[in-house]
């Protein structure tokens, strides 16, 4: 059966095309009774306005931009982005929006993509993820007058609406659990300190270890990948003293670290306990399964997309923040008391 058009609705209602447009777009110019009658007929005909038609009527593109500065290889292994995009897309679909997703290999290329998206008016707004310390993108979107919502643990540089999920509480609880088990030498494999969430997780580890009256263990440069975790294992094996526990910046890094340690013949958790962060499903299939803390990227996606749609509708609104709670701690077999077999 052919899809109903606005012409079909106008014919069934006995009104002009312009009257149907005014009624369905909620504009003044028709009585409430006429609006309700036209809406009822549109529902009966299962009519939905085309994106092109809506764009012409409202001068919006009904698309939202998301520039991901990651390689395709990382995207294929890190489930965060797919889960986040699924949550964001759910909120966008409900509001009649679509996503324009673009991958970028560098910050310079990302900035160029933002300029292109704004200049061509391909999007009504953008989501800014993976916040950096002194992030230039925040000043850029304000210069471009491009509605934007930032996603991260804290705000940086210039005020923007923020969908915030802090990892600090999760890292604190993981470190305290290790201290409770008797660990006194707790190392940390961190992410690049250009990123705000890497700094937040490193600082939470450092402060919690010191609050327990302990000297911080080794701090090892890593990344959010399994390959970085395996490289960190080599560095840990080269330390003068082997730490009894390692807090990793995320689950992929922790899984790579465990693999590297086990390949070298070490027992996890008998000789080294390991924790991650994110709560990805892969961690439940490792041996031992990973002790971690669960993030909720789908909910962060839904919240941030909803915030951006609200901002597009009210671009003069003052910046606001929505806190998205973490999930629970995920207990696993990757930690135990020091020397446990």
Q: What is the pLDDT of residues 220-246, one digit of tens each?
A: 999 899 999 999 999 999 999 999 999
Q: What are the Cα distances from residue 175, in Å, to 183, 251, 257, 327? A: 9, 15, 17, 17
* Longest Cα–Cα distance in the chain: 86
- How confident is residue 265, by pLDDT bands cut at 50, 70 and 90? very high
The secondary structure element, H or E, covering residue 246 is strand 245-248
pLDDT band at 77 (very low <50, low <70, confident <90, very high): confident
For residue 1, what pLDDT is reported?
A: 54
Write the DSSP symbol of residue 283.
G
Distance, in Å, from the CA atom of 299 to the CA atom of 131, rounded to the nearest integer, reads: 18
Burial 209-231, CB ≥16 within 10 A → b, else e: beeeeeeebbebebbbbbbbbbb
So what's the pLDDT on residue 331? 95
User: Would you say the pTM of this structure is higher than 0.75?
Assistant: yes
The CA-to-CA distance between both ends of the chain, in Å, stands at 68
Roughly what angle, to the nearest 10 degrees, separates helices 107-119 and 136-143?
10
Q: Is the pLDDT of residue 167 over 90?
A: yes
Domain with CATH 3.40.50.2300 in the chain: 63-166+297-323, 168-294
Question: What's residue 179's pLDDT?
Answer: 98
* pLDDT computed for residue 7 by the predictor: 79
B/e letters for 11-20, b = 16+ CB within 10 Å, e = fewer, are ebbebeeebb
Which CATH superfamily includes the segment(s) 168-294? Response regulator (3.40.50.2300)
**Residue 47, φ and ψ in degrees, nearest 5:** -85, 135
Give the model confidence (pLDDT) of 280-315 as tens digits: 999 999 999 999 999 999 999 999 999 999 999 898
What residues contact residue 217 under an 8 Å CB cut-off, 6+ apart?
Answer: 185, 186, 187, 188, 209, 243, 245, 246
| Interval 168-225: pLDDT, tens | 999 999 999 999 999 999 999 999 999 999 999 999 999 999 999 999 999 999 989 9
Strands 125-128 and 148-152: parallel
Measured CA to CA in angstroms, residue 218 lies from 185, 206, 209, 223, 261 at distances of: 8, 10, 12, 16, 16
For tokens 């999760």, the residue is 170
Cα–Cα distance measured from residue 102 to residue 100, given in angstroms and rounded to the nearest whole number? 7
Cβ atoms of 214 and 183 within 8 Å: the answer is no
Cβ contact 139:157 at 8 Å: yes
Across 91-134, where does the E strand assignment appear?
A: 98-103, 125-128
Strands 329-330 and 219-221: unpaired
Q: Could you confirm whether domain 63-166+297-323 is CATH 3.40.50.2300? A: yes
Evaluate if residue 11 carries a pLDDT over 70. Answer: yes
């Amino acid at each position: 059966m052919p899809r109903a058009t606005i012409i079909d609705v106008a014919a069934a209602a006995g009104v002009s095309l312009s009257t149907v447009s005014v009624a369905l777009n909620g504009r003044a110019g028709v009585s409430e009774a006429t609006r309700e009658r036209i809406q009822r007929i549109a529902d009966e005909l299962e009519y939905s306005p085309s994106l092109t038609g809506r764009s012409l009527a409202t001068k919006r593109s009904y698309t939202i931009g998301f520039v991901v500065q990651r390689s395709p290889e990382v995207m294929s292994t890190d489930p965060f982005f797919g889960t986040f995009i699924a949550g964001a897309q759910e909120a966008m679909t409900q509001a009649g929006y679509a996503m324009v997703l673009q991958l970028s290999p560098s910050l310079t290329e990302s900035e160029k993509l933002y300029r292109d998206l704004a200049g061509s008016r391909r999007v009504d707004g953008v989501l800014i993820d993976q916040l950096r310390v002194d992030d230039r993108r925040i000043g850029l979107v304000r210069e471009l007058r491009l509605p934007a919502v930032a996603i991260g643990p804290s705000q940086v540089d210039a005020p923007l609406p923020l969908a915030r999920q802090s990892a600090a509480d999760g890292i604190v609880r993981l470190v305290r659990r290790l201290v409770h088990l008797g660990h006194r030498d707790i190392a940390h494999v961190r992410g690049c300190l250009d990123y705000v969430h890497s700094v937040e997780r490193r600082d939470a580890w450092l402060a919690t270890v010191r609050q327990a009256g302990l000297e911080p263990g080794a701090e090892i440069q890593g990344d959010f990948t399994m390959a970085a975790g395996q490289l960190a294992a080599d560095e840990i094996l080269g330390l003068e003293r082997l730490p009894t526990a390692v807090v990793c910046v995320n689950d992929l890094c922790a899984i790579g670290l465990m693999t590297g340690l086990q390949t070298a013949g070490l027992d996890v958790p008998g000789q080294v306990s390991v924790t991650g962060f994110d709560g990805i499903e892969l961690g439940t299939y490792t041996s031992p399964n990973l002790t971690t803390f669960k993030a909720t990227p789908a909910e962060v996606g839904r919240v941030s997309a909803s915030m951006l749609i609200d901002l597009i509708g009210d671009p003069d609104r003052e910046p606001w923040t929505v806190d998205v709670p973490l999930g629970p701690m995920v207990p696993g077999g990757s930690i135990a008391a020091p020397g446990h077999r």
